[in-house]
Amino acid sequence: MDLLPGQTEGREQSLVRSDRLRRIVMPLPGGRLFRLFLHWSDGTDLEDLDRRIVHGDSWERCFDGALAGGDVDLSCRSCGTDFVAIVADAGVPLLADVAARLRKHEFVASCPACGAAWQPHVLHVAEVA
């Protein structure tokens, strides 16, 4: 796995262990690279998706149902437990119809430690920090 500046292998490995996430790296103008995660909550078989991408299927079609997000450190305001989470980023130009995707997607609505409601658009709690 190629790491971008500021990333650690341990954190990256913990984030990609999910059967609902895929890490992608996008080129930006000027040659820089940007890393983010795609998350599916609709039951998409991501191993099949990986095979389809390798065999040249259109990535736009393969990414149906996905939302893009970035990893953030997140603390529950009720219990104080610290997490690493993937939070949706609606400003990523990679995916069309983001508003419709946000309406259909399933999010982690509460803290896994105490059950208190927390911030919107948490796609995945990757690990307890």
Instruction: Give residue-wise pLDDT tens across range 54-74.
Output: 998 887 788 888 999 988 889
| Residue percentage of the chain with pLDDT more than 70 | 84
Kindly state the average pLDDT of the residues 92-110. Answer: 87
Q: What is the pLDDT of residues 26-46, one digit of tens each?
A: 887 888 888 888 999 999 999
Radius of gyration of the chain from its Cα atoms, rounded to whole angstroms = 15
Are 124 and 106 in contact, with CB atoms under 8 Å apart?
no
Q: What is the pLDDT of residue 77?
A: 93
Q: Which of 3-17, 31-45, 91-105 has the highest mean pLDDT?
A: 31-45
- The pTM of this model reads 0.81
**Residue 7 clears pLDDT 50, i.e. is over it:** yes
Confidence of residue 127 (pLDDT cuts 50, 70, 90): low
- Residue located via tokens 């059950």: 115
SS3 6: coil
Identity of the residue numbered 31: G
Question: Would you give the DSSP letter of residue 60?
Answer: H
Confidence of residue 4 (pLDDT cuts 50, 70, 90): very low
Burial 4-39 (b: 16+ CB within 10 A, else e): eeeeeeeebebbeebebbbeeeeeeeeeeeebbbbb
As to burial, measured by CB atoms within 10 angstroms (0-12 exposed, 13-18 middle, 19+ buried), residue 111 is buried
Least confident window among 13-17, 36-40, 86-90: 13-17
